[in-house]
Amino acid sequence: MRIAMIGTGYVGLVSGVCFSDFGHDVVCVDKDPNKITRLENGEVPIYEPGLDDLMNKNVEAGRLRFTGSLEKALDGADAVFIAVGTPTRRGDGHADLSYVMAAAEEIARLASDYIVVVTKSTVPVGTNRKVRETIAAANPDLDFDVASNPEFLREGAAIDDFMRPDRVVVGVESERAGTVMSEVYRPLFLRDFPIVTTDLESAEMIKYAANAFLAAKITFVNEIAALCERVGADVKEVSKGIGLDGRIGNKFLHAGPGYGGSCFPKDTRALARTGQEFGVPMQITEAVIKVNDETKRRMVEKLVDLCDGSFNGKTVAVLGVTFKPNTDDMRDAPSLTVVPAMVGGGAKVRVVDPQGKREGEHLLPGVTWCEDPYEAAEQADLIVVLTEWNQFRALDLGRLKDTMRTPRMADLRNIYTAKDAEQAGFLAYDSVGRVPMS
């Protein structure tokens, strides 16, 4: 198969690289010339473990190329994937479809032979039909089909998720498009990974329903965590106890500072918006959005309490600012709520993150970037664990305590215990959903 991939972000680049590793001939296009230059030089513009090696292997094998020209990429392509961003539209929570529709118009202008136009971006129900109408209106002679193929990969484990998916979802309207999509995913089909072939609307809904469900699961446990703190229960024990029930499952039950990232916040907002538009309010999803916002604010209150009621004049070391470990992605990260609250309140904030600096430098003005946790903790009044990078999981708490002015810790990922902190000589320790050290 010959595949054109529009967009070389977290989804487009991983998908393009993995498709080329399946043996397909892939051309990735991006309108950002800087990204294309870096990719042509063998450099991956994002941080995703294992991606550079797999990319360079397939470039060397001659199966993977990069270009700024969609026209070149479309030459002889059997399928063109749209993997551009669909951020929240300013003002109303709806997904901003301008990048998707612009890509559709470009395809209409440049394609000449039969092609399957596949939307990989997360798009609200009805969008694939709009893509089809837009292309048909702009180029009535073009022979084409549309397909919906939402992506479920997780940043930080993206290659494995793409190569060994729980399922692949494909929405099609014609047998011809179905055949092309089967060929594209043939290596996964042969290895018995489930492929759900369905209609366009169901494929679009599956993606939003999955993300809203996962966001609800995390938010549910975060709300239970707030109650655990009040009643003296330990949310880690509670999560374990409920997660062993096969109907519930143990994934996505870790209490923390509230979900963030490039998908859950915008996709829950977009689903809520679709519900409003169709007169079927998504009440659970709306509650999830509200409780998640409150969870982030609750974290700020915890930190103020640990700072004796005021950030003013305090020095705080923050470990981790990306929305989760193993990614450089900062979109909607809890750090974007927590850190500005501390800086705004008059704290001096020192930040360490293995990959967050490039994005974080613009997004978190007024902080000092440090290379390691011990340097950040020097003469600090509080240390905050905000992202559970492996580097932060086995710190020498005694050494940290010795370097701090007033050794206090807010462990918002529950990677230590009050006992660990007490034994190391910390004066205060608080986490999420567990009784703080008094």
In the complex, the residues that contact ligand NAD under the rule CB under 6 A are 6-12, 29-32, 35, 83-86, 99, 102-103, 106, 121-122, 151, 153, 155, 262-263
Q: Which of 18, 28, 263, 307 is catalytic?
A: 263
Between residues 121 and 285, which has the closer beta carbon with respect to ligand NAD? Answer: 121
The answer to whether 331 is annotated as binding is yes
At residue 5, what are phi and psi to the nearest 5 degrees?
-120, 120
Between residues 84 and 291, which has the closer beta carbon with respect to ligand NAD? Answer: 84
Least distance to ligand NAD, CB of residue 183, Å? 22
Between residues 85 and 356, which has the closer beta carbon with respect to ligand NAD? Answer: 85
Which tokens in the block code for residue 411? 């462990």
The answer to whether 219 is annotated as binding is no
The answer to whether 130 is annotated as binding is no
**Sign of the dihedral defined by the CA atoms of residues 260, 264, 270, 275, in that order:** negative
Rounded Cα gap, residues 363 and 307, in angstroms: 24
**Contact at 8 Å (CB) between 196 and 169?**
yes
Measured at CB, which residue is nearest to ligand NAD? 9
The answer to whether 285 is annotated as binding is no
Rounded Cα gap, residues 81 and 30, in angstroms: 12
The answer to whether 179 is annotated as binding is no
Least distance to ligand NAD, CB of residue 131, Å? 13
Least distance to ligand NAD, CB of residue 428, Å? 36
The answer to whether 255 is annotated as binding is yes
Between residues 12 and 356, which has the closer beta carbon with respect to ligand NAD? Answer: 12
SS3 assignment, position 133: helix
- Residue 170 amino acid letter: V
Rounded Cα gap, residues 238 and 260, in angstroms: 23
Rounded Cα gap, residues 25 and 19, in angstroms: 8
Burial class of residue 288 in the structure, from the number of CB atoms within 10 Å of its CB (0-12 exposed, 13-18 middle, 19+ buried): buried
Least distance to ligand NAD, CB of residue 285, Å? 16
Rounded Cα gap, residues 252 and 275, in angstroms: 25
Helices 235-243 + 200-231 axis angle, to 10: 140
Between residues 184 and 410, which has the closer beta carbon with respect to ligand NAD? Answer: 184
307 is annotated as an active-site residue: no
- Binding-site residue set: 30, 35, 86, 122, 152-155, 207, 252-256, 260, 266, 324, 331
- Binding-site residue set for NAD(+): 30, 35, 86, 122, 155, 266, 331
* Catalytic residue IDs: 263
- Binding-site residue set for substrate: 152-155, 207, 252-256, 260, 324
